[in-house]
Chain A
Amino acid sequence: MKQPSRILLGLFCLLVAVWLVAPTIVVVPMSFNDKKSLAFPPSGFSWQWYQNFFTNPEWSASLVGSLKVAVVTAVFATVIGTLAAFGLDRMKSRVSGVLRALLITPMVVPGVVLAVGIYAVYLDTQLVGTMTGFVLAHTMLAVPFVIIAVSASLEVFDKRLETAAASLGATRLTAFRTVTFPLIVPGILSGLLFAFVTSFDEIIVALFITSPYLKTLPVQIFSSITRDADPTVAAVGTLLFITTSLVIGAGLLIGSRQGKR
């Protein structure tokens, strides 16, 4: 390849990379601002917003609330989604296509529409602001992501391995446990991750069904930013950024080590 075109390509890639990462990076210096303002660049350095995040009960309670909802949602959505994906995969009838489309709808219906519907039902059933309410709503939103992730790994799974396992003496359950499951685990794990993030990130439905007793982190961020320009939001953003980077980095590291096996 000619040298100039290579340099041009490199510059373009760099530009795209900066464009993708810049909004996230900008938040980091903002979180160390010494004044109560979201100005960029910040005028001085301080740790006070981090301190505020960990000491202010409003913030820590919302973080705990979010984690609880997201963990329970991820577990439920992963179990339901995996079973659904498996069932759809093994269904011989043409109904499976219709069912799949039906199960995916929460992903394509506008969030506000769902939120209004959920809110209306929750008002009558006293589910507003409850853990059960959040988990039910978020599980519904997360199941499609699990179905898609698990279906993708079932797609490439060689079903003939189950036949082979049967010939070697495995019941259908044993074959699933020892052969199918270990081979689709990557899909299930990515479904789990998607489900967790879907719930942890969710704001629209949460805004409708939140209450002073149960607030999720996105709701807290939103209300904080609408009330006053509190750089604690930037501190939260930075913490989330670092945490997710570490998780993804660890995932990549484990993945590459398995690849070398």
Chain B
Amino acid sequence: MASPSTRGAAIDLKSVSKHYGSFVALDKVSLHIEPGEFMTLLGPSGSGKTTTLNVIAGFTEVSSGSLDVGGKSVIGVPAHKRNIGVVFQHYALFPHMTVSRNVAYPLTLRGIANPDREARVRKALDMVKMADFGHRFPSELSGGQQQRVALARAIVFDPPLLLMDEPLGALDKKLREWLQLEIKRIHRELGTTFVYVTHDQEEALVLSDRIAVFNQGRIEQIGTGRQLYDEPETLFVGKFVGDSTILRGAASASGDETAIDIAGRKVATAKRLTDGAIPVMLLRPEKLSLARRGKGGQDRNTLPGRIGEAIYLGSGSKYEVVLADASKAIVRSTLDAETFAIGDEVDLVFAASDAKLLADDENADFTLT
């Protein structure tokens, strides 16, 4: 095995489009993935993330654009010649073969004969902690065990690139969280480039070096989890990654200052806007705080509201505050903070610099499957 730093392949998608009749599944998607990087393609169903993965794997031909893997164009190269590992949501283990034979399958196809083949199967199964299950059949394994075998099968032939299509989608939460850490560890040990598809933003934040957020066949933003959370470039990204409170109002500029009318109050902004613009103000739950009505202080923005829902989370509380214009704010507070009950009249307090101003985007409404 080569050293980790040289094992991953770079991926370069340039202006890749995929049409099915009049339906545009991918619309000029460009994405560069560094060798050895853990890149997650995040988005709601039908956003193009899985199509992108299928294009890289060779299961789907592109309509236009270029795709390089490891510096070479793979347009027109069939899937079986790409030497890319793929892990599927549905495991896709061969039911008529034992675990060992499943994992040995790609090696057999590559003409690797037995002392070597057996050693590599063992090594791959060791890596996913399934070494004791070699003689079992897939039907005798749990979902999590099957997916670990599928992972072993996808890495046993040392591909420079591993694609994972919602691999933990069919598993329960506890198992998912544990396997996320396992996948992270395996990525670290192998040094292979990982491309991971999920619609679960938490999973994306846990795993990834960088995340590409997909929406309606386009990439909305590419960045680290922190960048997406702290500096969302579009309303869609802001809403999809992390909890957020969205406030809308018209801007009014006077001199150097810009304020936004929200629920009848003027709210100061950190950014200058043109008069009459209708931006969206996005606030993260931990940037918001609550105070009893009239006790919010003067140096920060305050909006009057009423507690609509109070949820005890163990590590703190989560409140839903209904504002005068019926919009809702999500506030998370720590255990030692003052507690409120449903119906309490409160002030929503936040600093102007903590509010992200974004263009209103009607496409930002989405439903999760």
Chain A residues near B153 (CB, 8 Å)? 168
- How far in angstroms is the closest Cβ of chain B from A169? 4
CA distance A161 to B84 in the complex (A): 16
Interface size band for B: 20 to 34
Contact partner, A170, options B59, B80, B90, Cβ 8 Å:
B80
Interface residues of B in 99-113 (CB under 8 A from A): 105-106, 109-110
* Bound: A167/B109 CA distance, A: 11
Is A64 an interface residue when CB atoms closer than 8 A count as contact?
no
Q: A57 vs B4: C-alpha distance in the bound complex, in angstroms? A: 78
Q: Does B137 contact A (CB under 8 A)?
A: yes
Contact A169–B92 (Cβ < 8 Å):
no
A163 nearest CB neighbor, chain B only: B59
A92 close to B (CB within 8 Å): no
User: Does B340 reach chain A (CB closer than 8 Å)?
Assistant: no
A168: chain B residues within 8 A (beta carbon): 80, 105-106, 109, 153-154, 157
- Closest Cβ of chain A: how far from B295's Cβ, in Å? 60
Given A169-B110, A169-B157, check contact A164 B80 (CB 8 Å): no
A24 within 8 A of B: no
Q: Which A residues, 128 to 187, have Cβ-Cβ distances below 8 Å to chain B?
A: 158, 160-161, 163-171, 174, 178-179, 182-183
**Contact present for A167 and B79 (CB under 8 Å):** yes
The docked-state distance in angstroms from the alpha carbon of A165 to that of B85 is 11
Q: Given the complex of chains A and B, what is the CA–CA distance between A104 and B323 in angstroms?
A: 68
Contact A169/B94 with A163-B59, A164-B88, A174-B109 known, Cβ cut-off 8 Å: no
Given contacts A174-B109, A261-B137, contact A167 B86 (CB under 8 A): yes
Main secondary structure of the interface of A (DSSP, over half): helix
On whether the beta carbons of B109 and A164 are closer than 8 Å, the reply is no
B127 at the A interface (CB under 8 A) = no
Q: How far is the CA of A174 from the CA of B137 in the complex (A)?
A: 21
The reply to whether A183 and B95 form a contact with Cβ atoms under 8 Å apart is: yes
Taking CB atoms, residues of chain B closer than 8 Å to A164 are 86, 88, 92, 94
- The 0/1 profile, CB within 8 Å of A marked 1, for residues 24-58 of chain B is 00000000000000000000000000000000011
Asked if B72 lies at the interface with its beta carbon under 8 angstroms from chain A, I say no
* 1/0 contact string of A108-136 vs chain B (CB within 8 Å): 00000000000000000000000000000
Instruction: Produce 1/0 per residue, A60-71, CB < 8 A to B.
Output: 000000000000
Cβ–Cβ < 8 Å partners of A182 in chain B: 96
B154 contacts which chain A residues (CB < 8 A)? 167-168
In the bound complex, do residue B94 and residue A167 qualify as a contact, i.e. CB atoms below 8 Å apart? no
CB neighbours of A183 from chain B (8 A): 95-96
- Taking a contact as CB atoms under 8 Å apart, the answer to whether A179 and B110 are in contact is no
Contact indicator B106/A169 (Cβ below 8 Å): yes
Give Cα A169–Cα B90 distance, bound, in whole angstroms. Answer: 19
Q: A158-B92, A164-B88, A178-B105 are in contact. List 12 more A-B contacts (CB 8 A).
A: A160-B88, A164-B86, A164-B94, A165-B94, A166-B58, A166-B78, A166-B80, A167-B79, A168-B109, A168-B157, A169-B106, A174-B109
**29 pairs from A and B in contact (CB 8 Å cutoff):** A158-B90, A160-B88, A160-B92, A161-B92, A161-B94, A163-B59, A164-B86, A166-B58, A166-B78, A166-B79, A167-B58, A167-B59, A167-B79, A167-B80, A167-B82, A167-B85, A167-B86, A168-B109, A168-B153, A169-B80, A169-B81, A170-B80, A170-B109, A171-B80, A174-B109, A178-B105, A182-B96, A183-B95, A261-B137
